[in-house]
């Protein structure tokens, strides 16, 4: 259900889109398979499809950078990731279309996995969950709809742009602390950073090229002014003629 005001929009996801629905169903189905396999005493899914940096580094299990996104070991982890996907993903898919939405989802998710791998290439600890991609979606939503209001913890109204800043700050400082909390803050931060580069990188490149071209023109102008000044000085000296004592 959605509610509108003159200043902003209070929302809760809106009608579910096709791709978001498929992603949620897929994650729930994989969670059930993982849960039953764990009950049977098998850990093969985590070992082969969770993101284990040392296996990516030394055994080239590159698929783990994708498959880890669909594994969730705890019901609350799955619930909050899928809730966030529902809340922010529907509007993003409607705004971008299915192809761009899926591309962004996987790029941020894989990018978050790459960030986790880069900071601990020889770690044997498994990283699982869609949180990297989810944080990427949150970043994108904050850029596209900064003044929309959600209820933090279902109680506190806050604009999405402030929520993005808060979540980014938490991920950043938590990643600096270096404490083992069972949460991959590097993946969260990585998903946001990769999403930011994906969305704004082209604009930054264009601005850099414009700035570089302006600097080049200014340098050429200065060189021309120096050269022109020297030529004018020589011409003026010739016009003066010889000096008679």
Within-domain flag for 245 = no
- 8 as an active site residue: the answer is no
- 188 as an active site residue: the answer is yes
Within-domain flag for 94 = yes
pLDDT band at residue 39, thresholds of 50, 70 and 90?
A: confident
Within-domain flag for 104 = yes
Supply the range of the domain harboring residue 59: 3-199
Q: How far apart are CA 146 and CA 148, in angstroms?
A: 6
Within-domain flag for 134 = yes
Record the tokens describing residue 153, joined without a space: 């913890």
Within-domain flag for 8 = yes
CATH number, domain containing residue 9: 1.20.1540.10
Within-domain flag for 156 = yes
β-sheet bridge partners, residue 198? none
Within-domain flag for 210 = no
Within-domain flag for 243 = no
Q: Which of 72, 77, 185, 188 is catalytic?
A: 188
Q: Which of 116, 131, 175, 184 is catalytic?
A: 131
How many domains, the chain? 1
Q: For residue range 173-218, what is the model confidence (pLDDT) as tens digits?
A: 766 655 444 456 788 888 999 999 999 887 766 666 676 677 777 7
Q: State pTM to two decimals.
A: 0.78
**Can you spell out the DSSP letters for 43-102?**
-HHHHHHSB-HHHHHHH--TTHHHHGGG--SSHHHHHHHHHHHHHHHHHHHHHH-HHHHH
């Amino acid at each position: 259900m959605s509610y509108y005001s003159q200043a902003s929009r209070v929302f809760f996801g809106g009608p579910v889109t096709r791709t978001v629905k498929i992603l949620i169903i897929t994650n729930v189905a994989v969670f059930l398979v993982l849960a039953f396999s764990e009950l049977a005493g098998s850990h093969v899914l985590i070992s082969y499809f969770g993101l284990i940096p040392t296996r990516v580094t030394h055994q080239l299990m590159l698929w783990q950078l994708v498959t880890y996104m669909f594994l969730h070991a705890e019901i609350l982890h799955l619930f909050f990731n899928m809730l966030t996907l529902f809340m922010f993903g529907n509007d993003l898919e409607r705004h971008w279309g299915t192809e761009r939405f899926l591309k962004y989802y996987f790029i941020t998710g894989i990018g978050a996995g790459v960030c986790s791998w880069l900071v601990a290439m020889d770690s044997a600890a498994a990283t699982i969950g869609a949180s990297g991609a989810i944080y990427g979606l949150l970043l994108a939503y904050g850029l596209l709809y900064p003044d929309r209001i959600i209820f933090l913890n279902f109680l506190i109204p806050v604009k999405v742009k402030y929520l993005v800043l808060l979540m980014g700050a938490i991920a950043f400082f938590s990643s600096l602390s270096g404490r083992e909390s069972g949460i991959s803050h590097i993946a969260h931060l990585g998903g946001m950073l990769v999403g930011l580069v994906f969305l704004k990188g082209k604009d930054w490149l264009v601005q850099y090229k414009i700035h570089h071209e302006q600097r080049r023109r200014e340098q050429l102008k200065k060189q021309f002014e120096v050269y022109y000044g020297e030529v004018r000085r020589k011409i003026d000296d010739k016009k003066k003629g010889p000096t008679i004592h």
